[in-house]
Amino acid sequence: MSDLDIPQDPAFAVHLNGSGGAIKGWVVVDSLYDGLAMGGTRMTTGVTEAEVAGLARDMTHKFTLAGLRIGGAKAGIVSDGSDREETFKTFGRTVKPLLHGGIHLGIDMGVTPADRAVFFQEAGYDPRFRLGAPDMPIDWRTYYEPLIDCTGHGVGVAAVTALEESGRTESARVVVQGFGAVGRAVARFLEDRGHVIVGVADVEGTISAERLPVADLVAITDEFGRIDRSRLPAEVRLDSGPDAWLDVDADLLILAAQKNALNAENVHRLRAYLVVEGGNLSSDAEAKEKARAAGATLVPGVIANIGGAASAALAVTRTVPFELAAEARKAWVFDWVGDRVRRNTRDLLEIAAASAGDPLPELLAIRREERR
């Protein structure tokens, strides 16, 4: 199948108005594979249908690249999170037919495991059971929650693979933008492998030093990824300027925060020769092109940050060997994700070396053929 055969429109998109209550939102099913699709649920005040559609397309790309036999979807709810119990009950009633019909909706920005439990319960949906599929022998949380660092693990594997492929053998100086679940796990992964974290940014600004001790920073970071400035180690520099993480002298930049963090306006400040996207849609198209033209290498999120989505899809498609004990099962999932990320990173860089444009469409076309 050639690239031109990919439909530009999603398989379907539905507006959510609410059942037994009012909500505003959308579910976009970008693609279906054997009647199945999945993706997270995002709840922010500014989420739009176009944003949900873009994220659903990214899910299709992630699963295609990973060789998972499931389509991409995403849900969005417009809300500031007040009265969340009622919002998620209404959401659960509204998306009940989708959940039971093979559209698995999980967690994304602004939605917690507790919120997911509310909408699963209200919909009477338990992903352990699906018509025509073997039952999962363990419940969803027992399976999924120990895998919290899986996304960071994959992003770390992408970074290490790209560093190796660059031929530079010395340890890299790394700046991590975003110190949430993903940023913290990547920082630990890279430090454990001998790289030096020289900068870390959260929503309040950028912290830098010749060497930042990751464990000490993690210890003073709250559940929202905010670092307590009153307890910082001595001799760190603080910069609250916009995008100050771009000014830190580093070889490798990990983007693990908001959408379009790297964009057409700030990309000229990029100092790192390698950028790995830990977040979704972390850089806009123009920034990607300009970074490439300036000689930097960029590994996109659809390759690097598949850990969370892939580990959920491995369960929904019943690919995981559930009979393994907890630790062995976790190691199996981490290895599976690491292997896919490594292979995709290597192949992307090989295509990039042979052509001037964006290498992703060619890699997607190859993986689409393989998955058929």
Ligand X SMILES: NC(=O)c1ccc[n+]([C@@H]2O[C@H](COP(=O)([O-])OP(=O)(O)OC[C@H]3O[C@@H](n4cnc5c(N)ncnc54)[C@H](O)[C@@H]3O)[C@@H](O)[C@H]2O)c1
* Binding characters for ligand X, 89-108, by CB under 6 A (x = yes): -------------------x
Those residues whose C-beta lies under 8 Å from the C-beta of residue 175, and which sit 6 or more positions away, are 197, 198, 199, 200, 201, 206, 208, 245, 248, 250, 252, 253, 254, 272
* Interface pick for ligand X out of 30, 58, 115, 202 (rule CB under 6 A): 202
* Interface pick for ligand X out of 19, 166, 171, 258 (rule CB under 6 A): 258
Q: Does 308 bind ligand X (CB under 6 A)?
A: yes
Those residues whose C-beta lies under 8 Å from the C-beta of residue 66, and which sit 6 or more positions away, are 306, 310, 313, 337, 340, 344
Residues in contact with ligand X, counted by CB under 6 A, come to a total of 23
Q: Which residue is nearest to ligand X (CB)?
A: 180
* Binding characters for ligand X, 168-187, by CB under 6 A (x = yes): ---------xxxxxxx----
β strands within 212-300, DSSP E: 237-239, 252-255, 274-277, 297-299
Q: Does 225 bind ligand X (CB under 6 A)?
A: yes
Is the CB of 71 or the CB of 178 nearer to ligand X? 178
Task: Report the alpha-carbon distance of residue 188 to residue 200 in Å, rounded.
Answer: 12
* Interface pick for ligand X out of 28, 47, 68, 256 (rule CB under 6 A): 256
Q: In whole angstroms, what separates CA 139 from the centre of its chain?
A: 23
- For the CB of residue 306, give the shortest distance to ligand X in the complex, in Å: 8
Is the CB of 51 or the CB of 108 nearer to ligand X? 108
Q: What's the helix, strand, coil split of the chain in %, to 5?
A: 45, 20, 40
**In terms of Cα–Cα distance, which of 182, 205, 134, 163 is closest to 299?**
163
C-alpha triplet 113, 116, 118: angle, nearest 5° = 115
CB contact at 8 A, 335 and 310: no
Piece of 69-77, 199-207, 262-270, 330-338 that binds ligand X (CB under 6 A): 199-207
The tokens describing 344, both together, are: 């995709």
**In terms of Cα–Cα distance, which of 168, 151, 175, 135 is closest to 312?**
151
Q: Looking at the DSSP assignment, which residues form a beta bridge with residue 73? A: 29
* Interface pick for ligand X out of 114, 203, 285, 324 (rule CB under 6 A): 203
Is the CB of 218 or the CB of 365 nearer to ligand X? 218
Is the CB of 55 or the CB of 122 nearer to ligand X? 55
- For the CB of residue 178, give the shortest distance to ligand X in the complex, in Å: 3
Q: Does 279 bind ligand X (CB under 6 A)?
A: yes
Q: Which residues bind ligand X (CB under 6 A)?
A: 108-109, 151, 177-183, 201-203, 225-226, 256-258, 278-280, 305, 308
